[in-house]
Structure 1
Amino acid sequence: MWKLAGKATFPRRQAAPKVVSFSFDVGNGPVELNVHSATPLNDDQWHRVVAERNVKEAVLQLDQTYRVSRSAPTQGHTRLELFSQLYVGAAGGQRGFLGCIRGLRMNGITLDLEDRAKVTPGVKPGCQGHCTSYGMYCRNGGKCVEKYNGYLCDCSKTAYDGPFCTKDIGGFFEAGTLVRYSLAPEPVSTSRESRLQSHQLWPQEVNLTREELSMSFSTSNSPAVLLYVSAKTQDYLALLLRHNGSLQVRYNLGGLREPFAIDVDQRNLANGQPHSINMSRVNRSITIQVQSSLADTHAPK
């Protein structure tokens, strides 16, 4: 019996591999086992692979989620005479592995890849990646993401943009001002004011049944409307601060005589401090998160 186990991480490339193969030949002809992942494996995350062959069966397992096995033939060879060298990362004439491998064990013995990496050209000890050294440059909550030959800062969940999430992309609103985005195409206008105030988000008219919204705000004045989305009908969705500074969501998505209101947070959020909001709507179900406060609410049928 022999057993091979280890963890590997793959850098992002154009291809999206989702299959891990385990092949061997002990004299009965070549045998190949394949496990298929639901998501690409070159996602810069660690994946655990266990391959085992014994007198009863051969097993291949990926991430303790995907598993495939095959029974051993009743006749034929059962032993694999291991007199040659063990190659890790490549074999003769095959395309080599690009990424990190750690925790490699064979038949219960842990193989020291770090010492071999120190004396092997093209192989470096350790699997820290670029983010270990340069992740500090991603500012304001930006997330460092490993790339094929470097890294980037993911600013999607911050109020900043730019290579290092340092470019402020917010706006200061004076009382009575607003910025308008068009969710459906409008007639072409030559008005300079219209071009400055209206920004089209989708190339064609859409009928949205769900939204994902995240934003940060800071104000010392209430009441105030933070966000308002309306349709050609009487349907709308509004995110606002009440007179006491508490956060409320109001909406009417059809069939309701009166708008439905959700009191999300009773604290005074108009206190001049920054607050973050994450809101998700699927049909009439809405989830709102304000900092560490979570509220789940369903509208009446």
Structure 2
Amino acid sequence: MTERRFISVVPSNFIGHLQGLSFNGVPYLDQCKNGDISYCELNARFGMRHIIADPVTFRTKGSYLALATLQAYASMHLFFQFKTTTPDGLMLFNSGDGSDFIVVELVKGYVHYVFDLGNGPSLMKGNSDKPLNDNQWHNVVVSRDANNVHTLKIDSRTVTQHSNGARNLDLKGEQKCSGRRTRLYGPSTTCTEESCYHQGVCLQQWEGFTCDCTMTSYGGSFCNDPGTTYIFGRGGALITYTWPPNDRPSTRADRLAVGFSTQLKEAVLVRVESAKGLGDYLELHIAHLAGTPGTLVFPGTLVEKHCYRGYSQA
């Protein structure tokens, strides 16, 4: 029997975002940022960068944006992002020949998709667990394939509906995006598998639910508020926390949660070391293995392109 040993290598400096680091329930990044501990030194900077393409702001209810006619005769695929604090409003409208039309609107904070291909109007409601007028960016995808299957996707949650009868949507005139008001209804607030974002745990309450975000790098009521985040540039950066000599933990079980985004194939994310001479340590890093670039050294979950969230429980 042969024994295989991993050869220790020093990965390159980490470049990207490190978010919501929690070790055994202690939010070290938050404590460093707030100055709650005196044993932390850092030369990374606090912040986060979001890229939103071509944003348009509607400052009054009468404001609107006129675009070319939506090409949706046999099929269509529509994507946009929005954020607002207004619970009701018309986000997109395009009329057509006869009774044909398409509408995407916000009703009491929930996305509604209404369409008519000539058989009378049909309504699809977005599958959101909470009102979306929370001043956060949300993704909306509306599509219809050649088989007349309509799809409405809000963030990561999708609903579909098959439409019988007429198969063509004959639109004419301008496609308008605006803030005009509308009225309808919203869903209940019971726990579902997707009630909490980023794998937060939904806890059903008598009236509604709460989300346990402990083992995520997010906070807030629905685990969708990014935790304290630092940016590490190409020049190299390090955040160091040293336990006081008389307050060093001795554990049989450890729970580590951290969020990160990077394009590097090899980098150390977190390392926890014991006192000098003991040799114990816990390390999370991205390793470049043959055929599997950018692999976490213990199981993690792919959240989105170039963004991973991993945790360890020993």
Same fold (TM over 0.5): no
- Which of 1 and 2 has higher RCO (CA within 8 Å, sep 6+)? 2
Rg: which structure is higher? 1
Q: Normalising to structure 1: TM-score of the pair?
A: 0.35
Q: Normalising to structure 2: TM-score of the pair?
A: 0.34
The structure whose residues are more often helix, as a share, is 1
